[in-house]
Chain A
Amino acid sequence: MTGSAESSRPPGLPRGSSTPPPRPVVGVDIVSVLRMADVVARLGERFASRVFTRTEIESAPPLSGAQARHFAARFAAKEAVFKLLQPTTAAPPWKDVEIGRTAGGSCVVTLHGRAEELARQRGVGDITLSMTHEDAYAVAVAVGMSQDLNRSDQ
């Protein structure tokens, strides 16, 4: 019996262990700052309140250009996290992924609701996030480790 279990052990799995090792998962997204500025200018609170949490809205700078970059970077970050979590049906609501910053300026991802549940299903714990922007585009990269036992590509 032991021999059978050992022969089915995935490569890289420590001897005697029954679960595969966690594997890195990554998501990336890019958003046009100009498009975000246009949407925010036309739809304002109607759009923002459906996509961003109260904290994300209140932390936005007041000037329109900086505000568009703020929202574009956070929208890219939410999409990057969705890509990392790989939902098989509908993606969770945008507000289920909240983007914040520490006092030192590092990005912090907080998951709520369906996004939190999806992360649990995927075996994803902490998510590390990096955001950047130029005048025209904002980019975000999300990285985590997944202990998903149900992945078809394990």
Chain B
Amino acid sequence: MMSEDLKPVIDWLQMKNNDLEDIPRDLDLIENRLIDSLSFMEFILLLESLVARDIPADELSVDQFRTLDAIEVHFLQPKESASSRG
């Protein structure tokens, strides 16, 4: 089930990739080129607006953006909930 928090992310990915109707939560967004190098920074800025905090480039790992599941865990869940998952 899609979380409401993920909806703007999915909307953005669908807007950038016109032929895409459904994005599986475990789909590799990098390998499948849904996010390329130029759109990566744009995507970070989108996430920053969603979480209302800066996401410093030094802290970024591609794996944190690799799937919708990873994005939700690393950026869209409350800090306590994300950290409790280890």
Contacts and interface: CB of A to CB of B under 8 A. Distances in A.
A89 B58 CA distance: 13
A114 B45 CA distance: 22
Given A47-B41, A95-B57, A114-B58, 6 more contacts: A46-B45, A47-B42, A47-B45, A89-B61, A91-B62, A94-B57
B20 interface: no
Interface string A32-50: 1001100100010011001
B2 interface: no
Interface residues of B, number: 11
Interface of B: 37-38, 41-42, 44-45, 57-58, 60-62
A43 B45 contact: yes
A47 B57 CA distance: 12
Interface residues of A, number: 20
B61 A50 contact: no
A89 B57 CA distance: 14
Given A50-B57, A94-B57, A39 B62 contact: no
A51 B37 CA distance: 11
Contacts of B58: 93, 114
Contacts of A93: 57-58, 60
A75 B38 contact: yes
Interface in A55-111: 75, 79, 89-91, 93-95
A89 to B, nearest CB: 7
Contacts of A39: 38, 41-42
Nearest to A82: B37
Given A90-B62, A93-B58, A31 B38 contact: yes
Nearest to B44: A50
B38 A94 contact: no
Contacts of A90: 60-62
A50 B41 contact: yes
Contacts of A91: 62
